[in-house]
């Protein structure tokens, strides 16, 4: 039977209408997919199986496709090194002479530092293991800035791990599977990183916006930053260790403070992924949760009576000033000077308490405001830069 | 049976092959390659194709192809799933709805239409990113991507010229 003989052959559905209906259905489906995306959760389950699968497929393709470019670059560098070997040698010799002086200074400072630690009984942060990976794809658009690295869960990489180049912080891991992990760059619009200004110790949140220079937001204090200040990770919130180099502050064209990222000094081909977990996890959190406060001593007043500030000579006056914040947390050592070092060594317990209160861990300023000791230089010594700056 | 030159247009020719080309080019431009210290630009190669598909003919398969391209870009670039699918479908729908106005227009006017479609896609992306992250994307970066994408109109034009008259029913 031909088409004309078919009784329904004359029935024509306008293709424009059907195409329009299909378009609307597909648009609704796309909007539903977009609304159902849970990228902000940033854990492996929320990252999703399709995404991990696509990363797994794209990483080897990117690796193979980028090989010619990489080899060409290495070849050009080799030729350049060959022709400029003499000048390079001269420059390196001068640099070595300069570095020898710094080596002596570093040895002396290390010795002093070790003695101080021994005297104070400080517990320093454990060293952070690292995994090395190569970047195989790179997205640089205004709406998403991420990269795929060719190392994954087999190397112990987890979502949240900080990623560094040889010059500074690059971003953090947001998705990981076997053999590949996705790095969310500091420039991504979804990226928020707690940072501090090295000179003033002022805190800020580094906020990406898809441009090359992320913004410094929530700056506190009067003139907390000026052009050229070094920006480091603050360690607040426990996602990043304290003291990782981020970049240098500059005033943007829009009048806002921005950061020229240290990682942009050179192409990011190899990265170090710090297998960092919040140091508070080192403590046995279950045990800390079940710790009950000792009952007050019968007959003793809860708080010691206010004692007038003793008038001491200028040299001796520094000791109570340093001990005062610690005494705010533990009143008893104030009366016994011998106990003061003990009060300082108890400082690592303060971050441990953060794990017991998730809100404090997320917001982090809470422990600082509640315990004045956190604002004093004591945490600086108890929680030094975990990673190599 | 010949139906007066109304030979059907095989979907793989005007949908499948350009889609694969877009995927390949997007992948190529996502490689971490630098020339003289500068990275490659990041144009949205899928936009000229989505524009051309809407101009060539109304189709039931084309929106699905646009959706596929969008999801591919989301997975490649790491944006939220569905982000680029919506950003590409909106200009596709705009051009599909305005096909009668576009018929017979000069190349310059078509380029302007393409520019408007690109602006709609990136504007939607700007809005979605702002809603998702509570943070406005950088206008300069958006501008660069806009410029890098509108210069791709010749590819759309080539696709249109090649397939617009391939099926006489849609002339």
Question: Does A95 share its domain with A176?
Answer: no
User: What pLDDT was estimated at residue A269?
Assistant: 83
Place of tokens 């060594």: A345
- Chain A touched by B79 (CB under 8 Å): yes
Residue A62 to residue B31, Cβ atoms within 8 A = yes
CATH assignment of the domain containing A248: 2.40.10.340
Sorted by sequence, the CB contacts under 8 Å of residue A385 that are 6+ apart come out as: A232, A241, A242, A243, A244
Confirm if A161 and A278 have CB atoms less than 8 A apart.
no
Whether residue A244 sits in one domain with residue A178: yes
Residue in A22, A62, A208 closest to B63 by CB: A22
Establish if A389 belongs to a structural domain: no
Q: Does A225 map to a domain?
A: yes
- When divided into structural domains, chain A yields a total of 4
Q: Are residues A99 and A192 in the same domain?
A: no
d(CA A308, CA A286): 41
Of B37, B133, B136, the CB nearest to A190: B133
Q: Is residue A351 part of a domain?
A: yes
- What SS3 state is found at B82? coil
Q: Are residues A242 and A194 in the same domain?
A: yes
Distance from CA of B146 to the nearest CA of A (A): 10
Backbone angles phi, psi at A150, to 5 degrees: -90, 45
A211 shares its domain with A136:
yes
* Nearest Cα residue to A347 out of A366, A369, A374, A324: A374
- What's the CA gap between B159 and B152, in Å, rounded? 12
Q: Which chain B residues are Cβ-neighbours of A182 within 8 angstroms?
A: 78
Residues of B in contact with A50 (CB under 8 A): 75, 81
CA of B17, closest CA in chain A: separation in Å? 19
**How far apart (Å, rounded) are the C-alpha atoms in residues B138 and A159?**
26
Looking at the structure, tell me whether residues A64 and A136 fall in a common domain: yes
B24 touches A: beta carbon within 8 Å: no
CA dihedral B104, B108, B114, B117 (to 10 degrees): -90
Instruction: Yes or no: say if A156 and A133 are a contact pair by the CB < 8 Å rule.
Output: no
pLDDT grade, residue A231 (50/70/90)? very high
Residues A267 and A149 occupy one common structural domain = yes
Report if residue A317 sits inside a domain: no
Query: What is the domain extent for residue A355?
Result: 284-293+340-365
Q: Are B50 and B88 in contact (CB under 8 A)?
A: yes
Final residue in a domain of this structure, among A96, A124, A152: A124
Are both A111 and A220 inside the same structural domain?
A: no
Please give, rounded to a whole number of angstroms, the shortest distance from the CA of B81 to a CA of chain A.
6
Residue-wise pLDDT tens digits, B111-160: 999 999 999 999 999 999 999 888 899 999 999 999 999 999 999 999 99
Instruction: Please check whether residue B125 touches A, CB under 8 A.
Output: yes
Give yes or no for B37 touching A (CB within 8 A): yes
Contact B31 A65 (CB under 8 A): yes
Between CA A77 and CA A255 the distance in angstroms is: 39
> Is residue A240 located within the same domain as residue A205?
yes
Question: Are the beta carbons of A235 and A242 closer than 8 angstroms?
Answer: yes
User: Residue B12 carries which DSSP code?
Assistant: I
User: In the predicted model, is pLDDT for residue A351 greater than 50?
Assistant: no
Same domain, A250 and A104: no
B112/B51 Cα distance (integer angstroms): 12
- B89 near B97, Cβ under 8 Å? no
Q: Does residue A378 fall inside a structural domain?
A: no
Using a CB-CB distance cutoff of 8 angstroms, which residues of chain B are in contact with residue A46? none
The answer as to whether A380 is a domain residue is no
| Min Cα separation B127/chain A (Å) | 10
Interchain CB contact of B127 with A (< 8 Å): no
Domains and CATH numbers, chain B: 11-165 (1.10.1760)
ipTM of the complex: 0.88
Return the pLDDT at B118. 96
User: Which chain A residue has the Cα nearest residue B27?
Assistant: A62
Asked if residue A302 is part of any domain, the answer here is: no
| A108 and A249 co-located in one domain | no
The more confident residue out of B77 and B168 is B77
Residue A307 has pLDDT above 90, yes or no: no
Q: Are residues A75 and A173 in the same domain?
A: yes
Cβ A140–B32 below 8 Å, yes or no? no
Instruction: Give the containing element (helix H, strand E) for B147.
Output: helix B139-150
| pLDDT beyond 70 at A305 | no
Closest CB to B140: pick one of A20, A55, A211.
A211
Provide the Cα torsion B40, B46, B49, B51; round to 10°.
-110
CB contact under 8 A, A27 and B58: no
| Predicted local distance difference test score (pLDDT) of residue A321 | 36
Query: Is A227 among the domain residues?
Result: yes
Distance from CA of A213 to the nearest CA of B (A): 10
Write out pLDDT tens, residues A59-113. 888 888 888 887 887 888 888 888 888 998 999 999 999 999 999 999 999 999 9
- Average pLDDT score over chain B: 88
Q: How far is A358 from chain B (nearest CA, A)?
A: 22
Query: Are A51 and B82 an interchain contact pair (Cβ–Cβ within 8 Å)?
Result: no
pLDDT of residue A286: 66
Taking Cα atoms as reference points, which of A329, A354, A347, A342 lies closest to residue A383? A347
């Amino acid at each position: 039977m031909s088409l004309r003989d078919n009784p329904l052959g004359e029935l024509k559905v306008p293709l424009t209408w059907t195409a329009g209906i299909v378009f609307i259905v597909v648009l609704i489906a796309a909007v539903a997919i977009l609304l159902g995306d849970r990228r902000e959760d940033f854990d492996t389950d929320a990252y999703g199986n399709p995404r991990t699968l696509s990363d797994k497929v794209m990483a080897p393709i990117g690796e193979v496709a980028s090989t010619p470019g990489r080899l060409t670059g290495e070849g050009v560098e080799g030729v350049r090194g060959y022709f400029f070997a003499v000048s390079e040698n001269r420059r390196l010799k001068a640099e070595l002479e300069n570095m020898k002086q710094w080596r002596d200074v570093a040895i002396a400072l290390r010795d002093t530092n070790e003695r101080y630690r021994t005297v104070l009984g400080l517990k320093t942060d454990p060293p952070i293991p690292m995994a090395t990976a190569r970047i195989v794809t790179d997205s640089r658009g205004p709406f998403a800035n991420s990269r795929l690295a060719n190392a994954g869960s087999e190397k112990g990489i987890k979502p949240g791990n900080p990623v560094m180049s040889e010059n500074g912080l690059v971003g953090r891991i947001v998705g990981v599977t076997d053999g590949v992990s996705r790095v969310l760059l500091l420039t991504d619009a979804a990226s928020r990183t707690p940072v501090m200004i090295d000179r003033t110790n002022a805190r800020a949140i580094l906020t990406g916006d898809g441009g090359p220079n992320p913004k410094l937001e929530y700056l506190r204090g009067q003139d907390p930053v000026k052009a050229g200040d070094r920006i480091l990770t603050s360690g607040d919130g426990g996602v990043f260790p304290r003291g990782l180099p981020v970049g240098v502050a500059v005033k943007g064209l829009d009048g806002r403070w921005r950061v020229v990222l240290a990682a942009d000094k050179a192409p990011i081909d190899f990265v170090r992924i710090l297998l960092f977990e919040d140091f508070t996890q080192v403590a046995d959190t279950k045990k800390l949760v079940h710790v009950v406060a000792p009952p007050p001593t019968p007959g003793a007043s809860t708080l010691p009576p206010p004692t007038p500030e003793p008038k001491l000579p200028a040299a001796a006056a520094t000791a109570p000033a340093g001990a005062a914040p610690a005494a705010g947390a533990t009143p008893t050592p104030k009366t016994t000077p011998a106990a003061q070092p003990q009060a300082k060594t108890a400082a690592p317990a303060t971050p441990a308490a953060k794990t017991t209160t998730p809100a404090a861990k997320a917001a982090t300023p809470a422990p600082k405001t509640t315990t004045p000791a956190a604002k004093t230089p004591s945490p600086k010594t108890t929680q030094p830069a975990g990673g190599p700056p | 049976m010949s139906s007066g030159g109304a030979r059907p247009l095989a979907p793989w020719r005007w949908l499948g092959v350009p889609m694969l080309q877009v995927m390949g080019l997007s992948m190529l431009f996502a490689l971490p390659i630098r020339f003289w210290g500068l990275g490659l630009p990041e144009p949205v190669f899928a936009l000229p194709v989505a524009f051309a598909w809407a101009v060539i003919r109304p189709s039931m398969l084309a929106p699905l192809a646009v959706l596929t391209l969008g999801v591919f870009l989301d997975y490649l670039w790491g944006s939220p799933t569905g982000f680029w699918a919506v950003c590409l479908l909106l200009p596709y729908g705009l051009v599909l709805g305005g096909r009668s106005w576009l018929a017979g227009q000069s190349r310059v006017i078509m380029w302007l239409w393409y520019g408007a479609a690109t602006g709609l896609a990136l504007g939607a992306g700007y809005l979605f990113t702002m809603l998702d992250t509570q943070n406005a994307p950088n206008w300069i970066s958006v501008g660069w991507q806009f410029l890098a994408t509108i210069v791709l109109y010749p590819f759309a034009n080539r696709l249109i010229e090649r397939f617009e008259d391939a099926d006489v029913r849609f002339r």
